Structure 1
Amino acid sequence: LTSNSTTITGTGEPNATIVIKNGDTQIASGSVAGDGKFLFNITKQAGGSTITATVTKASNGKTSTATQTIPIATTTIGALTTDSILVSGTGERNGTIVIKNGATQIASGSVSSTGTYSLSIAKQAAGATITATVTANGKTSSASTNVVDNSIKATTLNALNTNSTSVSGTGEPNSAVVITKGATILASGTTDGNGKYQIAIAKQLANTTITATVTKASNSKTSSASKTVTAVVLDYSLTGPETYDLGSKANITGTYGANVTYVRLRVTGASGDVTIKKQVSTTTSSNAYNLGDISTYVDATTQKLEIIAVDAKYNVVNTVVVAINKDTLDNKLTGPATYTIGDKTAVKGEYGTNIAYVRLRVTPAGQTTGTIVRQATRSAGNYDLGDISTLVTDATSTVEILGVDAKYNIVKTLKVTVKAPTVDNKLTGPASYTVGDKTAVTGTTGTGVAFVRLRTGSDVNNMAVVRQATPSAGTYNLGDISGLVKDTSGVVQIVALDKGYNIINTLTVTVKAAAALDNTLTGPASYTFGDTTAITGTVGTNVSHVRLRVTPEGGTAAIKKNINLLPGATDYDLGNIAGLVANATDKVEILALDASYQVVNTMDLMN
């Protein structure tokens, strides 16, 4: 019998009665034929069922019984890859099924009434053994399959141009890479353990399509990426002033393209003689050149003045002709004589015809170089720098309004006297700070102070806000700043800001080096293998933890014991360490650590 049987046959006492049961349930009955054989139709019975046939002889009431247990259906499991999210197969109808990866269950459910199952699973690793076990009527049947690697990392190919002599990108780690141009192989190589590759190729023509194909050895999967080679356009651009005022000592400046090697000043005299008067190499990262003051080279309006660009082979690749004039220049510039911190009134004035730009320059106290913080709008001889309250926040700064001509030369300067605001901008705080001090930084503020900030930087022109406090009842607390100010280099400031976030006061804090830390560590001069005497000693005030470290000969160091010292403690006791040192050749050390668990001292007991 099987779980699919629909008939039952056998032999017994001829012409005797017969009853067929599944357990206690009768599923068929009748008589044995005269030739001792019987055959009955039955419904399909579940695997694991025990079927009993009982024959009774009418003449003497004697019985004879035969039993058979129906095996459950053989379980199957379909093939799986690293991309599979379903597991399916067949098994005993209506049986329970459990899916495992090794000993870990990853799914469970029931076999359908038709003997099939399909269960959702997470993607599994390549090579994993997945087992399906069906249980029915106390019987089990299992089937297994191995997960096949079906993945490959997507390949990338970096941009290429006609100057490129190598290709690079990423792909499946430790895999073969082939670089092709159409059907032609240009080069080949291998990705490294991080999936990166860089392979030399010959320079290719513009608009050529280059393809990188990576093949994964374990499953022969491939992934490709392509790029079109772009042309490299040579940049011979050159800018310079349109005119030069005879006698002007202003620097002659401009910009040049990436493929310009030299910028030269060429002067042609009235008689036609041509002379290169000055040359500069194009080495600045900003692509700007400066020929400086040329007044000694140009002395007549009858001369021809040119700025020329030269490539690496000294070929002239661009020319700017500069007109020479001797007109009287109108450099008129007016503006306010004073400015009060916090004033939002627009700063306005007038400018002359030779002034092309009006700019505001601010130089912090103690600095020699200022910063252009705004350029004015201009119309019919009038300029407007607008509200400068967010740009001028410190009464000690030097503030200037600059008149700049079309060649970006400063031709007029107005110094504006900066006055402190009338608001209460009081700010007190520590005059100095010692590196490592965890004491909260506190102070007092005036009524006009809305925020207090801690700033740090390499110098006063390069400051960054690292913490902000809001004053309460005239006091502020910036807390422990030991994690923000770690050494004596740079500048540390406490600054006060008003409600508009304008700086209205500044305190510079002197940073002092931390006092020498007491990292003392004492203990036994040596340790004899097997000695059970307690290991004790003393530590300095900067030591918070004591550890025992043992390193087997040729092996890896391991921390065998750790003691966390109470605040102020100066003694330690590591106890008997005989059970922690396995061999006489082991290296035994006592380590002292500070509160940040940094090793600050070491004793070698096996020296």
Structure 2
Amino acid sequence: KTVVTKGSSILDTSLTPDPYAKDSATLTGKYGKDIAKVRLWVNDVAVAQATTSNGDFTFTNVASFIKNKTDKVEVVGVDAQYNELNRKPVTLTGFDTLDNALTAPANFTLDQDTTINGTMGTNVAKVRLSVNGVIVKQATTSAGTYTITGANTYIKSTTDVVKIIAVDAQYKEVNTKTVTVIPNGSIYDYKLDANAYTFGDATITGTYGKDVTAVRLWVNGAPVKNASLSNGNFTITGLASITKATDKVEVVAVNASFQEVNRKTVQAGE
């Protein structure tokens, strides 16, 4: 005898995902007792399986899968044989707010700092260094961080106006931070003394302080060559560029940032 059953299924295959906020690490929700597993689908591809406990499910590392407001995001409940029992779309929130975040150090110390580091938001495409209103260098970027090396090449004075500027993919400025240039509290030995020189001498010699990294010969307002340095003494040979007694001859000391720190006249010129 055939037995006919009537009525609706009493299986509990309910599935309710919570809204997902942009960049959140997890996606959570509820599932019915007859669902064996809950899976995350993004753009019609299964990408992750949830951990489940007492009717609650949790996906982790979700931000690596859901990146754009146009992503199609669903949770799918399956039975023990992975037959689909229910499917629900996930509401995405916060994707209309662009992440233009930017951080930068408050200060840059002269004669000490060389690099500027910081972090940037996901909508920032490039980070640039501006000094006195001029873009001088673009940062290298990686995984939400940026690095500007050799910043000391461009930042020379406490009066410099230094800004870190973030732009989007269309090079539109989206954020900016001002960095204050401060002096180094250290006391440096930038001493420079030249021995007496008479036109026609084969060399120019003298002494320099321990924080001087190079001594240069200048003739008539232009750099000509570097001196050889040894234990606080400098020597400049090959003086063919000094052609007459009326040439203006100077020696110039620079520091590790190639900034001029001292200058002495060897021959006054006219």
TM-score by length of 2: 0.42
- Greater relative contact order (CA < 8 Å, ≥ 6 in sequence): 2
Give the number of the structure whose alpha-carbon radius of gyration is greater. 1
